[in-house]
Amino acid sequence: MPARLLHAGIDYVAGVYDYAPGRTMRPHAHAGTSLSVVLAGRVWERVGRADETGGPLSVVVKPAGAVHENRFGPEGARMLAFEFAPGFFDGMEDAPTRWRWRHGDAAARRALRLCRAAASDPGSSPGQALDDALALLLAPSEDAPPAAGAPPRWLRDVRDRLHDEAVRPPPAAALADEAGVHRVTLARAFRRHFGCSVTAYLRRLRVRAAAAALAATDAPLAAVALDAGFADQPHLTRAFRAAMGTTPGAFRAALRA
């Protein structure tokens, strides 16, 4: 059982797992594709005649059926692991098809911040935050270059729908289904064309809505928070300070000084 469960659904299970110092795991395989991020400690893994040693921020992707064995370091290890249902990647461009490790890049750090938001932020959309994290973790390199040219029509439609429904956006899977693309493809394309994750874009829209309400009304901060899509006033305050460099109350006071 994971030390912390982040998501459990028919699509995948995500959780944080602790492994005892020196533990070994005999050769085994998974029915579906798996992805793991080393959070602490070290892990050695072998597939066939090849082996890798991973430390903090190392990322490994294993396709379904890849036979592998593991050994954990003297301090043990803590790992974030995704176990995908068979067929999860059907229809996705650049779906993972081989065993592959990446080590300690900035994309992994950003992905972990999204995972923490999914686990602890009461106002976040856990499914969307995890899809955004997967888009980073599944990339073949640290970051794809920004996309050239205008976004495709389907992606502009997704962005427009986020503007229309920022307070209660559709689930990540529904947005992707409506656009006719894989969920991870949507998250990846959104970042490449608009420069941020869907999760971050929604947060910006909500902060803007809150700022407009603070400027135009005398509504209590708690009401402003709920109307803008935040879980509560503290959630609004955290997001507002991060985006604007000040608190909602100080922002309103400055406008009326």
What string of pLDDT tens digits covers the 257 residues of the chain? 677 888 888 899 999 999 999 999 999 999 999 999 999 999 999 999 999 999 999 999 999 999 999 999 999 999 999 999 998 999 888 889 999 999 988 888 989 888 887 766 655 566 788 889 999 998 876 556 666 678 999 999 999 999 999 999 988 889 999 999 999 999 999 999 999 999 999 999 999 999 999 999 999 999 999 999 998 999 999 999 999 999 999 999 998 87
Sign of CA dihedral 188, 32, 60, 97: negative
- Amino acid sitting at position 77: A
Question: Does this model's pTM top 0.95?
Answer: no
For residues 217, 220, 221 and 222, what is the CA-based torsion angle, rounded to 10 degrees? -130
> Which one-letter DSSP state was computed for residue 92?
-
Kindly tell me the burial class for residue 210, based on how many C-beta atoms sit within 10 Å of its own C-beta (0-12, 13-18, 19 or more): buried
